[in-house]
Amino acid sequence: MKLSLRSRIYLGILPLLLLFLGIMYFLVLDVKWLYRDTEEISYTKLALSRNLGDVQSTLYALEVLLDEGEGYLGRDRDRVSMRRLSVRIDRGAEKLQLSDIMQLKLQEFLEDDRSFNGNLRSIAELATHLAEGQGDPKALYALIKETNDAARQLRNTINESLLEIQAQIEERVEILYAVVIGGMLIAIVLTLAISTILWRRIICPIEAISHGMEDFGSDSERLDIEYNENDELGKLARSLEGMTFRLKEYQELTNEKLIRSTSAIRSILDQSPDAFFIFSEELEPTYFSPSASHLYSQSTLKDQLPNEVRELLLKTIETNEPQLSKEMNDAIRISVAGEDKWYLVHAFPFDAPDSGDFSYQSTNAKPSIAVIFQEATLLKLSDSLRKNLLATVSHELKTPITSARISLYLLLEQQLGELNSDQIELVETARDDVNRQLSTIENLLDLSRVEENTNELDISGFAVCDLVAESIDAHHDVATAHDVSLSYTAPESSIILQADKEKLRIVLNNLVVNAIKYSGAGRTVEIRAFQQEDFCRVEVSDQGPGMDPETVNTIFDAYTRGDATGAVKGTGLGLKISKDIIDAHLGEIGCISKLDAGSTFFFELPLL
């Protein structure tokens, strides 16, 4: 049966573990026994020595009292001394009893011990009789003499036995040392053997895989692992070889696609009339397309970047977001070969490519900026011509149309004579057309002024309530003519804006007029102003037909109208003008609408 890699590792470690547990178990038991025996020997030796000394001193006192059996007079004090000594002898016999463990250790001494104890009890008994005036002093003396000799012999025997037991303990300690050292030697041998097996079966394959991966990582054509066993590591090696082979194929395919893509991009850049630069984080150019190289060498860019370009690049680095020039007002004038030209500048943050791509001259890894200079000189001139023509024509048309409007009003007031009903209808139709044309001219003039002075704001402080109230008063007659009510919800507390009041008046008037025109007779236009965090929000809601999402997305584009049927007359410029004004204030304008549910136009301005 083929064992797995995990099983082989476990089986290699198991003998060492069993050996360790066996040695530890043996050491614990043997040390426990040695400790118990050593403690018992020390206690026994001390107790026997002390008790034998007491017995011997008592026997010596009896021996002196008897004086070889001839000197005992039997007086009262002799009998008292004899009785006291007999009691001490009897107690000494009891103290000389060995413990159970020491009896097992001193088997050969037990018989002598019993005989000696018997002699002591006999001496105690004879001494008691003698103290009572009975017994033979000579027999007692002879027994004491014999017992004294036995005591000396008993002490020597005990000492010899204890020394023998101590020698046995020392022998066991040496055996214990031998077992430990032998176990260590066996463990070392097993460790070396198991390490060799693990090295051959695990470490060597892993090293082979590691070396193969290193060779493959150093631009080797393919991964070749020198390990052909059919175990887990062998299967892993084969899988890695297959995977790296597929990665190599994918890398070659990707490199080929990258080369084609790079060539295509470079071809586009080389042929593009727009100048393409790459600037470093220090705003130093590091790559030029052919058009960019021509522009850089012929213009003032080589001396110093215009302030507008520098600010655009710094903003790109700061925000890490693309900066696009969408309007002709964003065009930057650059002197090229002594001639002023206009460029729309677009900047894109990106990570610097490798030094070999695009002839890139920098070797640092800092963020870079791709910049496109799109020439817009003709568009700028055309736009300026359009604006001038628009302003001139609108101004020239406004005067005669205003005069015609006044004349029509005079006719309707019948100050020049009475009119019949047909004449009045014709004059009213002419009046409405003249008013519509005059409104269109006013919008065109507003658009021209806003486009010309988008960044020129006459900032002043004013209350939003005043602006709304003035707009409602200005459109009261218009609302009445359309049978529309104007409702205003004022904020809880006064909101003071720092903005261009006249331009915001244009925005609010456009929103209110549109709401009146689209609401329909009998409806209400609601105007609300309130503070939302750090912004002031003004909303104008109508009860008109509403718009679909597609129309909402384009409603602020020029000449876009929310009424596809043309039932409501207009130019489609009012919301475009409003958006330009709000953008100039760094605010936001938007619309929320749904078909058959009305529309809500709003703008938000920051509270400075």
Closest CA to 222 of 206, 204, 246, 200: 246
Q: Per residue in 548-574, pLDDT tens?
A: 888 888 888 876 655 544 445 555 677
Q: Per residue in 183-199, pLDDT tens?
A: 778 777 777 777 777 77
Nearby residues of 241 by Cβ (< 8 Å), 6 or more positions away: 212, 222, 223, 224, 225
Answer yes or no: is pLDDT of 453 > 60.
no
CB 275 within 8 A of CB 289: yes
Q: Per residue in 498-521, pLDDT tens?
A: 999 988 988 998 899 889 888 888
Strands (E), 214-331: 275-279, 285-288
- What's the whole-model pTM score? 0.41
CB 427 within 8 A of CB 408: yes
Whole-number percent of the chain with pLDDT over 90: 9
* Mean pLDDT score across all residues of the chain: 76
Q: Per residue in 145-160, pLDDT tens?
A: 777 777 777 777 777 7
Burial of 83 (0-12, 13-18, 19+ CB in 10 A): middle
